[in-house]
């Protein structure tokens, strides 16, 4: 056992180095030119070589060699979403391939062995989170991971075991999205405990589009939402006491006029923010921007 532990420990630096070297290679991030402070469209024609739009939250694997995103024909009902992906293999990016029809918001578990999905078949009474599990080089069929009797919008895991979501808890009508707050969810012996993150980070309207760091140190949120759902992006840095303050605006380069902004996601190396932006389905795209330097500047003013 000691020898096995020694071998595993000795291999860890090599694993980290291998992962880091790919993130720093020209092929990382689908081989796209890296942005600085000004956002621009991410892999536009590469993501949609045929029809529809790319939208919502996307996800890179921890080693940077897989990328998953949502492709749909529109924003709302009848959009027929599907999860597509690219895989880096044999020295090049291959894809896009279709992973699952009828799903969206691909989100990795902390150990990368599971992927959570929104969508799927409902029953009109509950909210569902579906999950697929790695099987060799592929994935299992989607299965129900969580069936909730309360409102549930988006779903993200963290290292502590706490999940984050948009929800109105067990209050009011689950279909009244204006009551939704950014919430935490803890599963304890089969029971699900949903708790609002508080009045500072939340608003009187809909609060549900977000990204939370795996260590729960910060959240990027869609806020200042207007009646037509146009909004801006901000960041909240969690306090030492666990509370979440009001968001700090990410600035005019990202919030450059009225638009829908959602699907926030930070790459596993912490360097880039990817998000969805559009004034209509016609100009809806995934955008990306350098995030680690912006994050440091915003932390410095606290």
- pLDDT of residue 59 exceeding 60: yes
| DSSP conformation class of 209 | -
- pLDDT of residue 11 exceeding 50: no
Cα atoms found within 13 Å of the Cα of residue 1, Cβ hemisphere only: 0
Q: How far is CA 219 from its chain centroid?
A: 11
- pLDDT of residue 70 exceeding 70: yes
- The per-residue b/e assignment along 174-192, b for 16 or more CB within 10 angstroms, e otherwise, is beebebbbbbbbeeeeeeb
Predicted local confidence at residue 176, as pLDDT: 74
Q: What is the pLDDT of residues 192-242, one digit of tens each?
A: 899 999 999 999 889 999 999 999 999 999 999 998 889 999 999 999 999
Predicted local confidence at residue 227, as pLDDT: 85
CB neighbours of residue 226 within 10 Å: 11
CA pseudo-torsion sign 42, 285, 74, 210: positive
Distant-in-sequence, close-in-space partners of 65: CB < 8 Å, separation ≥ 6: 22, 87, 88, 89
For residue 183, list its beta bridge partners: 165, 196
Q: What is the pLDDT of residues 86-135, one digit of tens each?
A: 999 999 999 999 999 999 999 999 999 999 999 998 888 889 999 999 99
Range of lowest pLDDT (115-129, 265-279, 286-300): 115-129
């Amino acid at each position: 056992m000691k020898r096995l532990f020694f071998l595993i420990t000795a291999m860890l630096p090599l694993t980290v180095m291998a992962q880091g070297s790919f993130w720093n290679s020209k092929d990382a991030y689908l081989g796209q030119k890296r942005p600085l402070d000004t956002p621009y469209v991410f892999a536009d024609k590469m993501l949609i070589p045929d029809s529809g739009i790319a939208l919502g939250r996307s996800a890179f694997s921890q080693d940077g060699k897989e990328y998953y995103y949502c492709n749909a024909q529109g924003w709302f009902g009848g959009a027929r979403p599907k999860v597509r992906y690219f895989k880096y293999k044999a020295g090049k990016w291959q894809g896009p391939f279709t992973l699952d029809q009828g799903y969206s918001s691909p989100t990795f578990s902390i150990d990368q062995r599971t992927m959570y999905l929104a969508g799927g078949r409902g029953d009109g009474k509950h909210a569902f989170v579906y999950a697929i599990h790695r099987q060799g080089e592929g994935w299992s069929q989607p299965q129900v991971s969580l069936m909730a009797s309360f409102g549930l919008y988006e779903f993200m895991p963290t290292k502590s075991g706490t999940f984050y979501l948009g929800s109105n808890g067990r209050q009011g009508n689950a279909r009244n999205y204006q009551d939704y707050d950014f919430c935490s969810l803890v599963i304890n012996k089969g029971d699900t405990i949903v708790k609002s993150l508080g009045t500072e980070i939340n608003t009187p309207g809909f609060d549900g589009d977000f990204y939370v760091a795996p260590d729960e140190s910060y959240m990027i949120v869609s806020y200042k939402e207007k009646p037509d759902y146009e909004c801006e992006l901000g960041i909240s840095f969690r306090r030492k006491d666990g509370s979440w303050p009001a968001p700090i605006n990410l600035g005019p380069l990202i919030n450059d006029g009225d638009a829908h902004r959602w699907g926030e996601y930070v790459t596993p190396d912490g360097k880039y923010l990817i998000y969805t932006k559009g004034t209509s389905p016609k100009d809806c795209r995934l955008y990306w921007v350098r995030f680690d330097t912006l994050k440091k500047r915003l932390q410095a003013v606290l």
